[in-house]
Amino acid sequence: MSTTDFSKLGLHAQTSLWQAFYDDKTIQACVADVCRFDETYRTLKRTWQTLSDDEHEQTDWLIALFNHLYQHSAMPTLLVRGKSEPEYFASKDGMPARIEFAHGFFQSALHEISHWCVAGATRRGLDDFGYWYCPDGRDEMTQRQFEKVEIKPQAIECLLSLALGRYFYVSADNLNADFDTSNSTFATDVYAQAHAYLQNPHAPSHPLSKDAERLIWVCLDMNMARQGVICKYHLPHKSI
């Protein structure tokens, strides 16, 4: 399901939501807690706005941005290009924690960052955040469990992607399913959660984590046009 399926009304409404998110004083204060608006930050912003579509270069940029924000944070964490499957390694022996994403792919990096945002401080002290993972080929019940825990991280991944002007596609990660998936509401649920986060990031029932707020705001700022927040792609109109 592509994020480009929207009407003009949906486009206008969402642009207003993005601008309100960017202008939110609570979020700006949260960003200021960890973000150093120094020459490195300004260079990263200039670089992103002139960067080519080369996947490797964009991924290098994302690594540099994340590490600039978090390698000296209260829980130092590094984003690392992985050679195989994604994995999170908790801090040990005073070394920073590591988010290793799959095969060096930009979207995999955003996905693993999103899981890190959802995990919180306690789970960040555990390898792979203490989560289970069942590979492709899950049965119907296991797939439902998988989708339930994937809604929030994929909603955050969606917002990070859109803030950077990139496409986003929901991933059920079960290409080898041997059951009927046509009635799954997973994609709709992910987009609905993303819209809820964007519309009310401080809602008591579904608040965005502080790190998700920071990273979405920073991605917006990196992609900022002079005339204000402009997101190239938007949530599907059906989720509004």
Confidence (pLDDT) at 85: 87
pLDDT tens digits in sequence order for the chain, 240 residues long? 344 333 333 777 888 999 999 999 999 999 999 888 999 999 999 999 999 999 999 999 999 999 999 999 999 999 999 888 899 999 999 999 999 998 889 999 999 999 999 998 999 999 999 886 666 566 667 777 878 889 999 999 999 999 999 999 888 765 555 555 567 788 899 999 999 999 999 999 989 999 999 999 999 999 986 556 666 667 775 444
Confidence (pLDDT) at 148: 87
Confidence (pLDDT) at 145: 81
- How far apart CA 111 and CA 139 sit, in angstroms, is 23
Confidence (pLDDT) at 239: 44
Residues whose CB is less than 8 angstroms from the CB of residue 122 and which lie 6 or more positions away in sequence, other chains included:
none
Q: Which helix (H) or strand (E) holds 87?
A: strand 87-89
Tell which residue, 61, 59, 35, has the closest CA to residue 48.
61
- How far apart CA 172 and CA 117 sit, in angstroms, is 20
Confidence (pLDDT) at 137: 60
DSSP secondary structure, 97-114, as one string: EEEEEGGG-HHHHHHHHH
* CB 23 within 8 Å of CB 210: no
Confidence (pLDDT) at 61: 98
- Give strand pairing partners of 55: none
- pTM score, two decimals? 0.88
Confidence (pLDDT) at 7: 33
How many CA atoms does the CB half-sphere of 5 hold within 13 Å?
Answer: 11
- How far apart CA 102 and CA 227 sit, in angstroms, is 36
